[in-house]
Amino acid sequence: MSDYAGDLAPQQAWDLLASDPDATLVDVRTSAEWQWVGGADLAELGKRTVGIEWVTSAGEPNGRFVEQLAEAGLSPEAPVLFLCRSGGRSAAAAQVATAAGYRTAYNVAEGFEGDHDAQGHRGTVNGWKVAGLAWRQG
């Protein structure tokens, strides 16, 4: 599978989204995660996060993922940043997008909630939320 453009720390992702009007953030978590856990809030950048599930809430791979990128109006020429819970699904999504012709597909390393802490909890060690970037729940 093709390599993608690279991994970005959450702050680097925010900075790219802020500086490049064509850059788009795609949240590849499930709709249940978007609703119950929350997600990146790009309103102050005049942008919205595009939600396209990598794996459905039913646990099935999304066979229409690449098609849905195009349906969302994402240009293969513009930067696309993929975000998930901790960086795994989004790295896979960035690889598939790159193989499909998206030239600058990035993975947001650490994801939205980040790695587990010593107690097995997310949201305390790293990730979008811990970086203090804008987000909202529900």
Dist. CA 24–CA 13, nearest whole Å: 10
Which run of H or of E encompasses 97? helix 88-99
Which residues does the chain have with pLDDT short of 50? 1
Specify the CATH class of 6-136 in words.
alpha beta
DSSP, collapsed to helix, strand or coil, labels residue 105 as: strand
- Whole-number pLDDT of residue 2: 56
Distances (CA, A) of 52 to 35, 62, 84, 132: 13, 9, 10, 24
- Whole-number pLDDT of residue 19: 98
Q: Is the pTM of this model over 0.85?
A: yes
- Whole-number pLDDT of residue 138: 72
CA-nearest of 100, 126, 138, 133 to 25 is 133
Give the β-pairing of 135-136 and 50-51.
unpaired
- Whole-number pLDDT of residue 118: 94
DSSP state, residue 90? H
Average pLDDT across the chain, whole number: 95
- Whole-number pLDDT of residue 123: 86
| 66-101 confidence digits (pLDDT tens) | 999 999 999 999 999 999 999 999 999 999 999 999
Give the β-pairing of 135-136 and 39-40.
antiparallel
